[in-house]
């Protein structure tokens, strides 16, 4: 691992605290090709949040994992993000300088001003657009390469969180403004359906490449003998992820009431935290399903994996995703997923093989009942488990990081080395 040297606090670097990022244990062999060396290349990752913030999710995991991989290849990486009150303004983790500034919305002008001040420092910038763009292309030097990262189109998210005039403004900025600002910048997204949505909904002009989300390598961090599949009584459902409006976890918890008569032993395990947690707890109490719905909150990695591996089915009611990191996380444990047939999830769930998509005219409860009917056959259940593990094994953070390193090398005119397209799909 290459660590940055300490510099005065006013500059882009900071005092090295050498802390370790919270990452799950990994056990599979490291691929021989991790991508080209990037020694001394100065780059900045600009993301709305970091993985240690209370509402962090898959986008933060992606930004941090990619940053770590590039740093391991010798790049000098600065991570620009917002700051929660308890967080340090500047610190270094795994050789990456994290600079935090501003809050939920003020981070945008503050990052833009900081980039304008230090614009000569960087050869490449990753500009992650979580609905609202940072517009770094407007202040960085012309010679600095900018790679835009867009996980999914946020039109429905604007509608869920903001009143109509503000939602309209958000959609206008995400589509018309961002499409024009980044029109000459290579764009990365994480699924084919997200790429299609960007073309269709945003009128995105720039070339778009797919570099999938990764995952931990091989068996996840479960102790020897503890990874017995579906050790809970049948049927046990799991919901994994942030408790936020667009994930609609209340629909998953409601399955305990809707399917309770058909499946008297049904249990629902909700793993995660977020602003919707209180509302979810109130619903469970109101419906009298406390004996069937367990709200675990945030769990350490090993406890989370143990509970997830002990369930028969993972269910997500999310109305949009860039990919569906939790889907592959469950699949790695041999647990299939039921999800809506929406952008991102239709890519990470292979309908009929590693899970089931809610069909036109069906409800979530209909599809879960159909899945449980199939999984009640032991031979069918074992075939699905094997398919899930095989599918999930195709996605690793090493492969995704290597593909991103090759993209960086191409952007900067450096040798790229062998191009294995395990995680990257160029647009035809």
What residue segments make up the domains of the chain, in order of their start? 42-216+395-425, 236-392
CB count in 10 Å sphere of residue 363:
12
Q: What is the pTM of this model?
A: 0.83
Question: Which one is the CATH code of 42-216+395-425: 3.40.50.2000, 3.30.390.30, 3.90.800.10, 3.90.1200.10?
Answer: 3.40.50.2000
pLDDT (0 to 100) of residue 199: 95
DSSP helix/strand/coil, 248: coil
Give mean pLDDT, residues 220-234.
57
Give mean pLDDT, residues 395-410.
96
Peptide bond into 235 cis (omega under 30): yes
Confidence of residue 181 (pLDDT cuts 50, 70, 90): very high
Residue 5 has pLDDT above 70, yes or no: no
Q: Which residues pair with 208 in a beta bridge?
A: 187
- Round to whole Å and give the CA distance between 253 and 124: 44
Tokens of 374: 């199939």
Least confident of 119-128, 156-165, 201-210, 416-425: 416-425
pLDDT (0 to 100) of residue 428: 52
Token look-up 């900081």 returns 114
* 103 DSSP assignment: -
Confidence of residue 408 (pLDDT cuts 50, 70, 90): very high
Mean of all residue pLDDT scores within the chain: 87
- Round to whole Å and give the CA distance between 28 and 257: 40
294's CB contacts (< 8 A; 6+ apart) are 267, 268, 269, 270
13's CB contacts (< 8 A; 6+ apart) are 4, 5, 6, 7, 78, 97
Give mean pLDDT, residues 226-242.
80
Give mean pLDDT, residues 423-428.
58
Residue 2 has pLDDT above 60, yes or no: no
pLDDT tens, residue by residue, 332-358: 999 999 999 998 999 999 999 999 999
pLDDT (0 to 100) of residue 6: 35
Considering only CA atoms, which of 159, 190, 164, 184 is closest in space to residue 65?
190
143's CB contacts (< 8 A; 6+ apart) are none
CATH 3.40.50.2000 is right for the domain spanning 236-392:
yes
Query: Is-contact 106 372, C-beta < 8 A?
Result: no
Confidence of residue 427 (pLDDT cuts 50, 70, 90): low
CB count in 10 Å sphere of residue 52:
18
pLDDT tens, residue by residue, 270-326: 999 989 999 999 999 999 999 999 999 999 999 999 999 999 999 999 987 889 899
Topology alike, domains 42-216+395-425 and 236-392: yes
Backbone angles phi, psi at 402, to 5 degrees: -65, -40
Give mean pLDDT, residues 131-144.
94
Per cent of the chain over pLDDT 70 is 85
Helix segments in 162-312, DSSP class H: 164-172, 178-181, 192-197, 249-253, 255-258, 277-287, 301-309
pLDDT (0 to 100) of residue 320: 79
pLDDT (0 to 100) of residue 157: 65
CB count in 10 Å sphere of residue 44:
28
Higher confidence at residue 7 or residue 14? 14
- Round to whole Å and give the CA distance between 89 and 101: 7
């Amino acid at each position: 691992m290459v660590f940055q040297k300490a510099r005065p606090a006013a500059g882009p670097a900071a005092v090295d605290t050498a802390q370790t990022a919270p990452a799950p244990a990994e056990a599979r062999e490291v691929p021989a090709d991790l991508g080209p060396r990037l020694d001394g290349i100065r780059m900045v990752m600009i993301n709305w949040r970091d993985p240690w913030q209370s509402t962090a999710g898959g986008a933060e995991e992606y930004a941090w994992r990619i940053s770590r991989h590039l740093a391991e290849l010798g790049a000098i990486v600065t991570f620009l993000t917002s700051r929660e009150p308890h967080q340090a303004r500047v610190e270094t983790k795994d050789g990456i300088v994290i600079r935090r500034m501003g809050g939920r919305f003020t981070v945008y002008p503050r990052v833009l001003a900081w980039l304008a001040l230090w614009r000569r420092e960087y050869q490449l910038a990753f500009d992650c657009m979580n609905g609202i763009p940072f517009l770094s292309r407007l202040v960085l030097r012309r010679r600095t390469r900018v790679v835009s990262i867009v996980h999914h189109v946020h039109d429905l998210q604007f509608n869920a969180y903001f009143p109509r005039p503000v939602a309209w403004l958000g959609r206008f900025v995400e589509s018309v403004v961002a499409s024009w600002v980044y029109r000459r910048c290579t764009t990365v997204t994480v699924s084919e359906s997200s790429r299609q949505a960007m073309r269709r909904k945003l009128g995105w002009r720039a070339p778009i490449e797919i570099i999938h989300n990764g995952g931990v390598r091989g068996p996840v961090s479960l102790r020897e003998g503890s990874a017995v599949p579906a050790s809970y009584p049948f049927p046990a459902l799991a919901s994994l992820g942030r408790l936020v409006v667009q994930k609609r976890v209340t629909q998953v918890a409601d399955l305990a009431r809707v399917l309770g008569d058909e499946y008297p032993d049904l249990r629902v395990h909700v793993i995660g935290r977020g602003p919707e947690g209180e509302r979810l707890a109130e619903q469970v109490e109101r419906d009298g399903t406390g004996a069937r719905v367990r709200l675990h909150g945030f769990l350490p990695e090993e406890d989370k994996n143990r509970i997830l591996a002990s369930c028969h089915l993972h269910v997500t009611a999310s109305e949009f995703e860039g990919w569906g990191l939790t889907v592959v996380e469950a699949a790695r444990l041999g647990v299939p997923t039921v999800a809506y047939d929406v952008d991102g999830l239709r890519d990470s769930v292979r309908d009929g093989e590693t899970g089931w998509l809610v069909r036109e005219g069906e409800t979530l409860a209909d599809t879960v009942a159909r899945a449980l009917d199939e999984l009640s056959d032991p031979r069918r259940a074992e075939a699905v488990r094997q398919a899930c593990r095989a599918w999930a094994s195709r996605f690793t953070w090493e492969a995704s990081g290597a593909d991103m390193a090759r993209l960086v090398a191409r952007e900067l005119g450096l040798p790229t080395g062998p191009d294995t397209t395990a995680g990257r799909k160029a647009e035809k």
